[in-house]
Amino acid sequence: MKSRALFGLFTVLPLSVAIVLGASSTAGASGSVTVTIGGPIQVTNRLLVSVPVNVVCDPLSGDTVLVDRVSVQLQQANGKTVSQGSASVEGGPFSPFLGSPFLTCDGSTVNTVTVKIVGSGPFHGGKAIATASATHTVGTCSFFCSPTDTESGVVGPSGVNVRG
């Protein structure tokens, strides 16, 4: 009985949070985000790939930045297999990592964020496929914080060159 109650709590609580955040993130999305994959994309020790991502975002109405997130997915042919990996850089009070927000969203500042990916197999210098996305969410905070506006953008999948 106790385990069934705990299962219900751990199932319903995350679902409720996801529904609230999902509904809030689509309401009133008024800004735009331009995402480009920068360079050079560098591989270190055949497993760690550093991918610079350039983000330009518009200002949004809200008194507090709740979360900034930049994510990258990378795939590269490696013989008869495909090495792949993905990673995110995230910050803000709504982030599970609780770092500081890091995007300056004024419509003109180019924010360069380097995302470090550890691959499922070895990477090498040469051609690869990358997809990058960025999200910026603002809100109001009193006793609790509530999202008021979100903007996001994506680039890819597109061909990139990896140095290594």
Distance (Å, whole) CA 59 – CA 51: 25
pLDDT value for 114: 96
pLDDT value for 148: 84
Mind listing the pLDDT tens digit of every residue in the chain (164 residues)? 444 443 343 333 333 333 233 333 333 456 789 999 998 999 999 999 999 999 999 998 877 888 899 999 999 998 899 999 999 999 887 777 777 889 999 999 999 999 999 989 899 999 999 999 999 999 888 888 788 889 999 998 999 999 98
Cβ atoms 76, 47 nearer than 8 A: no
Return the half-sphere exposure (C-beta side, CA atoms, 13 A cut-off) of residue 156: 21
Distance (Å, whole) CA 119 – CA 75: 9
pTM above 0.75, yes or no: yes
pLDDT value for 75: 96
- Amino acid 155 reads V
Within 8 A by CB and 6+ apart from 84, the residues are 73, 74, 75, 76, 119, 120, 121
Residue 138 φ/ψ, nearest 5 degrees: -120, 165
For each of the domains in the chain, give its residue range(s) and CATH number, in order of start: 30-163 (2.60.40)
pLDDT value for 29: 53
End-to-end alpha carbon distance in the chain: 56
Return the half-sphere exposure (C-beta side, CA atoms, 13 A cut-off) of residue 133: 11
Distance (Å, whole) CA 139 – CA 117: 30
pLDDT value for 2: 43
pLDDT value for 129: 96
Hey, how many other C-beta atoms are within 10 angstroms of the C-beta on 59? Answer: 15
